[in-house]
């Protein structure tokens, strides 16, 4: 199997003084591909942090923080998403992190959505009934801030976690 890094992009939002982002969801993107709902659930159940990069540049200079607090979220239309909280490095650790945080703030004030993109390695994919590529198993390796998102017609997703009747956050096991 030829393993390659792939990217899918969704926006970051500021909620009060904090940020929340849907890193990916199960809707079809501009590249005619999407993550299966099962894969989104699997990723949401994993409690590990992810590297937070600038523009998918896999260098320490472009590591601007970490993504934490994975949650499974759902849009009104039923799409599932993986929401996480970005944590920016301090000015001393990486000045680029604080500059990017400021860019996100200013873009938000201007009404511009800053995009997010995940880096993932597809492990198993199939053609869905709609002819699009559905990734059913994949390793998510990083989340990046980027200027333009691939998800052109994103629906607004409530970033509060989906809860079961027992008020336990949905979870599944991580596929490796």
**pLDDT, tens only, 25-55:** 888 888 889 999 999 999 999 999 999 999 9
Exposure b/e, 5-35, CB count within 10 A at least 16 = b: ebbbbbbbbbeeeebbbbbbbbbbbeeebbb
In a domain, 153, yes or no: no
| Number of Cα atoms under 13 Å in the Cβ half of residue 40 | 25
Q: Is the pLDDT of residue 154 over 60?
A: no
The pLDDT confidence band at residue 151, using thresholds 50, 70 and 90, is low
The pLDDT confidence band at residue 65, using thresholds 50, 70 and 90, is very high
In a domain, 72, yes or no: yes
Q: What does pTM read for this prediction? A: 0.79
Q: How many domains does the chain have?
A: 1
Instruction: Dig out the tokens for 23 from the structure.
Output: 């890193």
Mean pLDDT of 105-118: 86
Q: Running DSSP on this structure, what letter comes out for residue 103?
A: H
Average pLDDT taken over every residue of the chain:
80
Domain region containing 54? 6-146
In a domain, 168, yes or no: no
């Amino acid at each position: 199997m030829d393993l390659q890094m792939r990217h899918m992009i969704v926006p970051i939002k500021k909620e009060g003084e904090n940020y929340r982002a849907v890193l990916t969801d199960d809707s079809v993107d501009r590249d005619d591909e999407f993550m299966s709902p099962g894969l989104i659930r699997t990723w949401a159940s994993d409690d590990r942090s992810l590297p937070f990069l600038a523009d998918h540049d896999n260098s320490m200079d472009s590591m601007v923080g970490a993504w934490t607090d994975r949650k499974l979220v759902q849009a009104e239309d039923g799409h599932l998403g993986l929401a996480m909280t970005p944590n920016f490095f301090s000015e001393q650790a990486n000045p680029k992190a604080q500059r990017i945080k400021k860019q996100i703030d200013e873009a938000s004030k201007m009404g511009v959505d800053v995009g997010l993109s995940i880096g993932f390695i597809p492990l198993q994919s199939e053609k869905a009934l709609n002819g699009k590529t559905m990734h059913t198993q994949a390793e998510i390796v990083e989340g990046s801030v980027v200027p333009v998102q691939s998800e052109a017609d994103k629906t607004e997703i409530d970033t509060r976690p989906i809860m079961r009747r027992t008020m336990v956050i949905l979870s599944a096991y991580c596929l490796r």
